[in-house]
Amino acid sequence: MREEDSNWFSKWEEELPPPEELMPLSQSLITPDLALAFNIPNHHHHAPPPPPQRPPQSPQRNSSAEFDSPEISGAGGGGGGAGSDEPARTLKRPRLVWTPQLHKRFVDAVAHLGIKNAVPKTIMQLMSVDGLTRENVASHLQKYRLYLKRMQSISSGGGGGAASGMDPATDHLFASSPVPAHFLHPGRASSEHFLPFVPVAAAAMQQHHHHQLAVVAPHHHPQLQQQFRHFGNSPPNGQFDHPYMRPSQQQQVQRMGSNGAAVLPPYVEDLESSTPANGRKVLTLFPTGED
DNA sequence: TTTAGAATAT
DNA sequence: TATATTCTAA
């Protein structure tokens, strides 16, 4: 019927940067130890296979540990604690750093899913960022919602100007990506074709063909964000950075032929890991060289 | 059971 | 502070 509905996704895809636009990885930033731990060949340039991070939730046990972190996390000796015998099952992963690019991915996924269907699991699947866990997304989503709420409060109450209550440092990340209008006033999209119901792509199950509900059951009522005046959230300038990275590795995200399953183009993360004195690894998505 | 959401911890 | 982890509800 409406071509718009059918095209919205295509159009959205088009705006995605081609592989040529992909940002060069800065693998060199990866410490030798990390590279070794992740089986990353020491390629000064080029794009080596992404670091196989331990799959988030593996219902099935992969008998073969893809990689085990050597002494980078354990270090020291003296027992090392839990890591001695046990495989990388309960290993702590490096802390994820949400770069503007990654956040952009996040926003895009949420935007196209709709607030209603934007749940951590779905978002995670749509983002197709390997290594991303539901927890990562959930945590970020939590903060993102607070951010949106804060913006609503500002525009609504307006007590003292938009600048009030705005933490530059805190909101800077979120400010990097424009907030879709539907986020602010769900249910009523003035000049935006908004899909009332978006069947989640899901389908991204583990290696196994275990079928899971691809759609979120509209059981509960999503708390509707009160509509508020649309205030110019567009960043001053130079906020549009959509340089993506090279396609991610194997990503079992397949689009559902049934309905317009949203599949975001592969996303790759450059990881730059640092090993602070604490020994806690830090996973960093390398920025695309924006300002 | 699993998952979302919020609270809390590091 | 940012993110992870934990806890509780649905």
Closest nt to residue A116, judged CA to C1': B4
Where are the alpha helices (H) located in A97-133, listed in sequence order? Answer: 100-113, 120-127
What is the overall mean pLDDT for chain A? 53
Sign of CA dihedral A215, A218, A220, A223: positive
Q: Highest mean pLDDT range out of A40-44, A141-145, A257-261? A: A141-145
Q: Which two tokens stand for residue A68?
A: 């085990």
Asked if A173 CB < 7 A from strand C, the reply is yes
- List strand C contacts in A 128-157 (CB < 7 A): 135-136, 138-140, 142-143
Place of tokens 């907030």: A179
| A283 CA vs C4 C1’ separation (Å) | 13
Q: Which pLDDT value is given to residue A280?
A: 59
- Angstrom distances, CA of residue A54 to CA of A35, A187, A205: 15, 38, 15
Smallest CA–C1' separation from A134: which nucleotide?
Answer: B3
A235 CA to C7 C1' distance (Å): 37
Phi and psi at residue A125, to the nearest 5°: -70, -40
Query: How far apart, in whole angstroms, are the C-alpha atoms of residue A58 and residue A176?
Result: 33
Measured in whole angstroms, the distance separating CA A78 from the mean position of its chain's CA atoms is: 37
Mean pLDDT of A211-224: 31
The nucleotide closest to A119 (CA, C1' atoms): B4
| CB-proximal positions of chain C, under 7 Å | 1-6, 10
pLDDT at residue A44, rounded to an integer: 37
Nearest nt to the A212 alpha carbon by C1' = B2
Return the percentage of chain A with pLDDT > 90, whole number: 7
Residue A169 beta carbon within 7 A of nucleic strand C: yes
**Is the C-beta atom of A221 closer than 7 angstroms to strand C?**
no
pLDDT at residue A140 tops 90: yes
pLDDT tens string A218-237: 333 333 232 222 222 333 33
> Can you give the pLDDT at residue A267?
61
Query: Distance (Å) from CA A141 to C1' B7?
Result: 15
Nucleotides of chain B touched by protein CB (<7 A): 2-7
pTM greater than 0.85: no
**Distance CA A80 to C1' C5 in A:** 21
Q: How far is the CA of A59 from the C1' of C1 (A)?
A: 34
pLDDT score, position A159: 56
Q: Tell me, in Å, how far CA of A59 is from C1' of C10?
A: 22
Give the C-alpha separation, A44 to A63, whole Å: 32
* A232 or A268, which is more confident: A268
Quote the pLDDT of residue A112. Answer: 84
Phi, psi of A194 (to 5 degrees): -115, 130
- What DSSP designation does A267 have? B
Nucleic chain B contacts, Cβ below 7 Å: A 57, 59, 119-122, 134, 138-139, 141-142, 145, 212, 216, 222-223
Task: Give me the pLDDT at residue A136, please.
Answer: 93
